[in-house]
Amino acid sequence: MIYDGLVIMMKSRFFSRKLRSRRSQMEIFGLMIIVILLIIGVLFALKFVVLKKPPETRNTYQRSQLSSNLGLALMDSTSANCRGTALKDLMIDCAEWPEMGGTITCDDGTLSCEYLQNAVQTILNDTVNVWRVKYEIKAGTSKKKEDQIFYFNNRDCTDNVPGQSESFFLPTDRGLLTLKIFICN
């Protein structure tokens, strides 16, 4: 009888421990499910909120501002090796005397057209090429390719694709010099 009571008491202790360990395992399993659901929720939030593409109006505005600011920067830049002459003055000189290469001689002996080509190429290489922006930039007194004083294009960007353009005009003795900057989508 004492033995039976001891066996019953031992069994009840064993079963209550086993029951308690199962309950704690179920609680831990439930907490794991909650953590997994939270992680999935955070991943959805990242995908749809943080990684969403900016609206097209913003992109259009950015391209418009980039083309405008780039044109203003090119016009207002001064030359380091050409007695501080503004690039717009070099453009005008080159447009007025393209067959001679311009009349302004820079400190290193280059004429205004050659210096202008190199200066604009350097500016583009240090800015929009680094930013991987598709562009087409041309300046001339007419739309004919042979009348362009310079023409720069990267990544197959032409007027035929969608994008934003900005034009700047300078008066010359040979007509109106047009600097056109086109930023592709």
**What does the alpha-carbon distance between residue 177 and residue 166 come to, in Å, rounded to a whole number?**
14
Helix residue ranges per DSSP H, the chain:
2-45, 56-76, 87-96, 112-126
Query: Are 84 and 40 contained in the same domain?
Result: no
* pLDDT (mean) for 58-68: 84
Q: Tell me the two tokens of residue 107.
A: 């400190």
33 shares its domain with 83: no
Indicate the number of domains in the chain.
Answer: 2
- In this prediction, residues 124-141 reach a mean pLDDT of 89
Range of the domain at 124: 56-184
Looking at the structure, tell me whether residues 84 and 120 fall in a common domain.
yes
Task: Report the alpha-carbon distance of residue 96 to residue 104 in Å, rounded.
Answer: 11
The pLDDT-based confidence of 34 (bands split at 50, 70, 90) is very high
The pLDDT assigned to 126 comes to 92
- 112 & 141 share domain: yes
- Determine the pLDDT at residue 37: 94
Query: Is the domain of 37 the same as that of 77?
Result: no
Q: Say if residue 61 is in the same domain as residue 46.
A: no
Same structural domain, 68 and 21: no
Q: Rounded distance, CA 58 to CA 96, Å? A: 39
